[in-house]
Amino acid sequence: MTSLLLTTERLILRKPDARDTEAAIAFMTSERARHVGGPLDERQAWRAHAKMVGHWVLRGFGLFSVVDKATDRTVGISGAYYPIDWPEKELGWHIWDPACEGKGIAYEAALAARRWAYEDLGWTTAVSYIAPENDRSIALAKRLGATLDEDADRPGHSPCLVYRHPAPEALS
């Protein structure tokens, strides 16, 4: 049974919607978005959020909004991303709220999202595409057990590193 709502010790992961718009725009218009195609102006930022919402309909899966149970605030997104021009399916994450850094929030969310991708979506492998200068994301990928895959195809035109996650059987 496929679930659209995941819960962890501190977090709720749910489909993104209008409740997340304000925080999504705040992130995508900020310098924090520099590794993920930003910063954007407000119009573009809204469309970027709408695109993440639409991804769920076009693919049947997507990036979850990561909600902090304690504050009920959306602090980022984490989940499955596969736009039509991506070489393969990705596990992605953006941490919107700087106050959530250094607390293992992104790790907790990504672990839950990866388990969901493997168990519910049936993925047999997964990569994360990370900008070479995005030290925080590289550290998170390594903590998740992902390793650099030099041979994997890269999406788009910007330089990026491909981290491949351990296969489902390696995690069980």
Which pair of structure tokens corresponds to residue 120?
């519910």
State which of positions 69-88 bind other proteins (CB under 8 A). Answer: 83-85
Q: How many residues bind other proteins (CB under 8 A)?
A: 34
Q: Is 14 in the site for other proteins (CB under 8 A)?
A: no
Q: Which of 6, 12, 23, 25 binds other proteins (CB under 8 A)?
A: 25
Question: Which has the closest alpha carbon to 5: 13, 53, 69, 52?
Answer: 13
What does the DSSP assignment read for 107-158?
HHHHHHHHHHHHHTS--S--EEEE-TT-HHHHHHHHHTT-EE-TTS---SSS
Q: How far is the CB of 10 from other proteins (least distance, A)?
A: 26
Shortest CB 87 distance to other proteins, Å = 11
Binding mask 131-160 for other proteins (x = CB under 8 A): -------------------------x----
Q: HSE-up of 151 (CA within 13 Å, CB side)?
A: 0
User: Taking the complex as a whole, how short is the minimal distance between the CB of residue 46 and other proteins, in angstroms?
Assistant: 3
Rounded Cα gap, residues 81 and 93, in angstroms:
9
In sequence order, what are the beta bridge partners of 64? 78
Q: Which is nearer to other proteins, 49 or 165 (CB)?
A: 49
| Residue 121 binding other proteins, by CB under 8 A | yes
CB 100 within 8 A of CB 144: no
Q: Which helix (H) or strand (E) holds 170?
A: helix 168-171
Binding mask 37-56 for other proteins (x = CB under 8 A): ----xxx-xxxxxxxxxxxx
Q: Which residues bind other proteins (CB under 8 A)?
A: 2, 4, 15, 17-18, 21, 25, 41-43, 45-62, 83-85, 120-121, 156
